[in-house]
């Protein structure tokens, strides 16, 4: 553990530090932000197209359709990782072009990063570094994709379960309604029959014709006259002239 004297000395040395003094040191320091663009927190580096990144993000959002803030964050992380993969591919192209005799394009972020890699090591080391960064970005993309798929599958199962419960409740309500309706129809038939019997009893007591039963209320068709009744009616009609003669 550092003593109070050492901490005081460190603070004094830090105040005296003004950064690199040589031109090469200043040049290297100025490229640090660009060099760290592969693994750092920078999403869009100076010189990169914000419109292209937004198009990448829009495409992933349209494809996966995030429904919650967490799903939206995962889609954004996928876009960040995909952007770094594209950046790594561009840097690798610049390194390979330099191997073929062409200098990296100093007007693009990929060219600047490729130049810094080549200055700090050989071409093979530069390619190895780019592939390592590309692999890291690819793993981050796949991890976010896996997490997003897990969340969306869980949400889909939950929705299916809720729909099943809702449909079951609806079926129960429908069944109860049908039973209630059938019970009411039975009560109406019973009341119609009781009314008819009451009227018939009153008619018999007063020696009046029995009222015709309302078969429609009972849910049945009126009975047709039997053949025996029809023959009796015909016989009665033919016997009257005979008796008169």
Tens-place pLDDT, residues 123-159: 788 888 889 989 999 999 999 999 999 999 998 888 8
Residues of the chain with pLDDT > 90: what percent?
Answer: 24
Residues 222 and 213: their CA atoms lie apart, in Å, by: 9
Residues composing the chain: 245
- pLDDT-derived band at 240 (thresholds 50, 70, 90) equals very low
What pLDDT score does 150 carry? 95
Name the residue among 196, 234, 231, 243 with its Cα closest to residue 215: 196
What pLDDT score does 53 carry? 92
């Amino acid at each position: 553990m550092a003593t109070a004297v050492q901490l005081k000395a460190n603070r004094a040395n830090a105040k005296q530090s003004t950064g690199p003094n040589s031109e090469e040191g200043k040049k290297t320091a100025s490229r640090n932000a660009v060099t760290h663009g592969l693994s750092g927190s920078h999403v869009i580096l100076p010189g990169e197209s914000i419109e292209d990144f937004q198009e990448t993000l829009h495409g992933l959002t349209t494809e996966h359709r995030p429904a919650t803030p967490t799903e939206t964050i995962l889609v954004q992380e996928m876009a960040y990782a995909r952007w770094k993969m594209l950046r790594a591919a561009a840097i690798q192209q610049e390194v390979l072009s330099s191997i073929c005799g062409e200098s990296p394009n100093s007007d693009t972020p990929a060219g600047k990063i490729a130049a810094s890699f080549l200055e700090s090591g050989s071409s093979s080391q530069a390619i190895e570094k780019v592939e390592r960064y590309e692999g890291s970005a690819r793993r981050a993309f796949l991890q976010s994709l896996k997490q997003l798929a897990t969340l969306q599958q869980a949400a889909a199962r939950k929705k299916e379960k809720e729909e099943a419960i809702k449909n079951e409740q609806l079926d129960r309500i429908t069944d109860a309604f049908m039973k209630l309706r059938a019970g009411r129809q039975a009560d109406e038939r019973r009341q119609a029959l009781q009314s008819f019997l009451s009227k018939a009893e009153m008619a018999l007591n007063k020696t009046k014709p029995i009222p015709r039963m309302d078969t429609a209320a009972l849910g049945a068709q009126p009975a047709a006259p039997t053949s025996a009744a029809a023959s009796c009616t015909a016989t009665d009609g033919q016997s009257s002239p005979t008796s008169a003669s």
